Structure 1
Amino acid sequence: MKLEHHGARNGVTGSCHQLHIDDAVSLLIDCGLFQGDETDSDNSEHNAIHFDISSVRALVATHVHIDHVGRIPWLLAAGFDGPIICSQPSAKLLPLVLEDAFKLGISRDRRRVERYLKQIESRIVAQPYKQWFTLTDTPEHKVQIRLQRAGHILGSAYVEVDVSQPGIKRSVRVVFSGDLGASHTPLLPAPKPPYRADILVLESTYGDRNHESRATRKHRLKAAIDRALHNNGTVLIPAFSIGRTQELLYELEELLNDELPVILDSPLASKFTAAYRELKPFWDDEAHARLKQGRKPLAFDTLLTVDSHHEHLKMVHHLSRSGRPAIVIAGSGMCNAGRIVNYLKAMLGDERHDVLFVGYQAEGTPGRAIQQYGPHGGWVELDNERYSIRARVETIGGYSAHADQQGLINFVKGIKHKPQEIRLVHGDKGAKQALKEALVLAGMNNAEYIL
């Protein structure tokens, strides 16, 4: 066996890992888009599949974030004709994500989109959590796969691949973490470590830091809301349509007491929020307790949705001119596209407003520039034009859907039969090095580390 990484090896985006069982059989774990500085001006060329896929028997999608599934159109164009294996919730969410990505990156032609979606839906194989299923069973080897809840977003999974060979008593177990969730993520149960891993491919996005507690982040979110009310300003929250948006709505419902409108200005986020509501059986115990109390965590009375582009432009104009306090959640999460850009253009120069980051901002994105230079009165370039930053800029780290350093350490320490090899992926160089050092200090010093 050997492992190849076709993305997220030397950075955070473009997750794509190929496990070669032998020369004729391999398995692909994720196939995501590159973002920020990890891409270039010719995105179509950057996202093209430049590796040999002739041996790939299946694609396993750990979850539906675009940096994990966004290259699927290019994978199909390269000739991949195998199944796309994912969890049951991801099977419902994946077509929504890929439809949006196809329209943005390839074509908006209705017939092409429909043809593409039929192709996607015919390939999806939904698997329940916690159950082994056999991918291949030949005289040479048997390959089994199991999905376990990762707690990152609804439907997210880490993947256990078990490879056994005739005459060899012990199988080889390879675990791909995908993106692991924080232990206090709303709506979702925390991930539980696998029983065994011989080789562990582990994400390291926040390998060099720990998040604020849930109590701290709620306090800071409430403080931002109170400032908006006092300043008659808008709190702009750039957020990814799936995962982060629903977590924010869940906590805003608890904090607001009908005093402030929450504007969800993203048709895609609205679709995902509706899908989250339909997938209540996969929510955690705390969320179910709220439902039993008659609460509506993702459908409260002050939640307003904006669908059409015309309504969006009217809302931007109204909030930037009226002095009416509000909270706006809009994509994209790194401010490199989407409706949040129009809000930023209209409001960054006004100190009444707040920009509140709740997720990772990749190098080279406008979000990272606002985050880095905004507190010092800097500027950011949006659509080739400079905008001065006078709005207040804040970051609440506790809302990350990724496990922090301690969460990653706990995941590895919780594996009963420890890995002999740990490959750190999906992280900046400094984060990977810091996580390696922390794991060694935590007693994981018998494994070989590959960064």
Structure 2
Amino acid sequence: MIEIKHHGAVNGVTGSCHELRLLQATKGSDPSGSDPTLLSAANSHPGILIDCGLFQGQEESRGSSAADLAIDFPIDHIRALVVTHVHIDHVGRIPYLLAAGFDGPIICSEPSAIMLPEILEDALKIGFTRDRALINRVLELIRARVVPLPYGRWHSVFEEEAGSLKVRLQRAGHILGSAYVECDAVSGSAAERIVFSGDLGATHSPLLPEPAPPERADRLVIESTYGDKNHEDRETRRYRLKAVLEHALEDGGTVLIPAFSIGRTQELLYEIEGLIAEFGDGAIGVSPQGDRPRSESLTWNNLEIVVDSPLAAEFTKIYRDLKPFWDEEARALVAAGRHPLSFEQLTVINSHEDHLNAVEYLAKSHRPCVVIAGSGMCAGGRVVNYLKAMLGDARNDVLFVGYQAAGTPGRNILTYGPRGGWVELDGERYDIRAQVHTVGGYSAHAGQEDLLRFVEGIPQPPSEIRIVHGDKGAKRALQGKLRDSVPEAAVVIPD
């Protein structure tokens, strides 16, 4: 018997943590042998975890208290943790998993093996401890446990009396290093290939190749972040980004883009560099309300782009160092002498003092600027200081390019900003007079059609599809579509 359990991402899009467990049956007291019972010893039901992430927003009304972060399920039988990618809602509880006694390997892709300690160092400093020595010990332990696995290569996790399990990672196209996980599990006479999608990337996203469907999946656990909607195509969203930036910059304001440090920041830089390369000397008009007259028009070539996030800067450097994992288009640009993630107009702010100075300067000046700052849902990080200083000025614009979970300031700004409402930041209310925009194609998540294409591309339909990692409406919408397109499968939404 092969069991799937879910310890997160069932009532929302965060806290991803799933368990695959083998249950060995043994003959009980019935002389006929027809009364099998399940052994309870840890060695009789070995398993693995797929991800161990933080809860964010309103999922299960959970937040960041000690109770929410604690590992509240048995782990004695867990032989390994497999990481699909290094976003915090997929890896943020790893330190707590180690503290609970987990002593197995942490299996992930080669790029994720490089990035995982970096993202967890930041998470530890913010939410775990300020004790540098303790942080270093945790990071050393994580580095010692990490097992980098090349894409497409099978890896044996265990072979025991209860059965065997091996895993293989395939490109997921979500962020650098992201993977979906194929699991070949054998328990007694039962043998299945079970696939966990992790987070799948949108079709034709910048920088990364799109995911190819698995060659087989007897059971599939699939995300549904955008299970109820489709994204704009690449060209449409690129020119929508151009239009939003041009409109926002006409009155000499700041375009503030809340973005996660990994994935979205790099994709935005890639697209903005492409716009600068294409429209270089083309003017972006500045109205008389700005500091300079329209005759002194700003051009794309002298538009300033600011990345205000040490973590985003570090991951952008890692992205640059891992060019072999880029898609063909991006590698061709590099071969032609372009620098999609390191161009002349880009300024990176690292120190906290420089950050505060930038917030003050941009809030007071009428200098057109594009600022990309974390975090992506406005629940913390440097973007909050920008929002406090700039939301009340109609010259400024907030551009959302990714999913905003319920209960986060980002969702509230997106919901109430167009109505002239307010948002609470650090316990205070701030009126929203800045314009609010969204370009959904840069979410880094697959849209509904992308998810359907992934499932429909599996040669033999799965017998069961489990829908996780989505709001209720998104999961139900995807469930209905999958029941129509894959009638052979039982499509379920776990509790």
Q: What TM-score, normalized by structure 2, do the two folds share?
A: 0.89
Amino acid at match of 1:191: P
Paired letter, 1:27: I
Paired residue for 1:109, among 123, 131, 148?
A: 131
Quote the offset at 1:292 in angstroms: 1.1
The answer for the alignment partner of 1:392 in structure 2 is 435
Paired amino acid for 1:12: V
- Cα distance, 1:139 vs structure 2: 4.1
- Alignment of 1:25 with 2:26, yes or no, is no
What residue number does 2:346 align with? 303
Instruction: Say whether the 8 Å CA contact 1:354–1:391 is kept in structure 2.
Output: yes
Q: CA deviation at 1:68?
A: 0.3
1:143-185 CA deviation, whole Å, 9 max, x = no partner? 111000000000000000001356x4x7310000000001111
* Match for residue 380 of structure 2 among 324, 334, 337: 337
Partners of 1:348 and 1:91 lie apart in 2 by: 38
TM-score by length of 1: 0.98
| CA distance in 2: counterparts of 1:107 and 1:426, whole angstroms | 28
Distance in 2 (alpha carbons) for counterparts of 1:101 and 1:157: 21
Secondary structure of 1:130's aligned partner: coil
Structure 1 ranges of 4+ moved more than 3 A: 39-42
> Which amino acid in the other structure matches residue 101 of structure 1?
A
Partner of 1:314: 357
Deviation of 1:446 (Å) = 1.4
What value does the CA root-mean-square deviation take over the aligned residues? 1.1
The alignment-based identity, stated in percent, is 61
Of stretches 138-147 and 96-105 in structure 1, the one that deviates more from structure 2 is 138-147
Give the alignment partner of residue 129 of structure 1, picking from 146, 151, 173.
151
Q: Per-residue CA shift, 1:410-448, capped at 9, x if unaligned?
A: 000000121101000001111111001111222x01111
Letter aligned with residue 221 of structure 1: L
The 5 Å alignment of 1:378-417 reads 378-417=421-460
Distance 1:384 1:15, change over 3 A: same
User: Structure 1 unaligned runs (5+)?
Assistant: none
Q: Secondary structure at the match of 1:251?
A: helix
Residue 359 in structure 1 maps to residue 399 in structure 2: no
CA contact (8 A) 1:228 1:326 kept: no
**Compared CA separation, residues 192 and 42, structure 1 to 2 (3 A):** closer
Structure 2 residue aligned with 1:201, among 179, 198, 221? 221
Paired residues of 1:87 and 1:126 also in contact (CA < 8 A) = yes
Largest Rg, 1 or 2: 2
Letter in 1 for 2:491: Y
After alignment, is 9-18 or 251-260 more displaced? Answer: 251-260
User: Which of 145, 152, 174 pairs up with 2:174?
Assistant: 152
Change (3 A) 1:42 1:300: closer
Tell me how far apart the structure 2 counterparts of residues 164 and 36 of structure 1 sit (CA, whole Å): 37
3-state SS of 2:248 partner: helix
CA distance in 1, matches of 2:144, 2:382: 32
The answer for the alignment partner of 1:288 in structure 2 is 331
Secondary structure (helix, strand or coil) at the match of 2:89 reads helix
2:491 maps to what in 1? 449
Query: In the alignment, which of 109, 112, 120 is matched to residue 90 of structure 1?
Result: 112
What amino acid is the match of 2:116?
Answer: L
Q: For residue 42 of structure 1, report the CA deviation from its aligned partner.
A: 5.3
* CA deviations over 1:344-377 (Å, ceiling 9, x no partner): 0111011111100000000000000000000111
**How do residues 148-227 of structure 1 correspond to structure 2 at under 5 angstroms?**
148-165=170-187, 168=189, 171-227=191-247
CA distance in 1, matches of 2:77, 2:161: 17
Q: Which runs of 5 or more residues in structure 2 are unaligned?
A: 24-43, 281-300
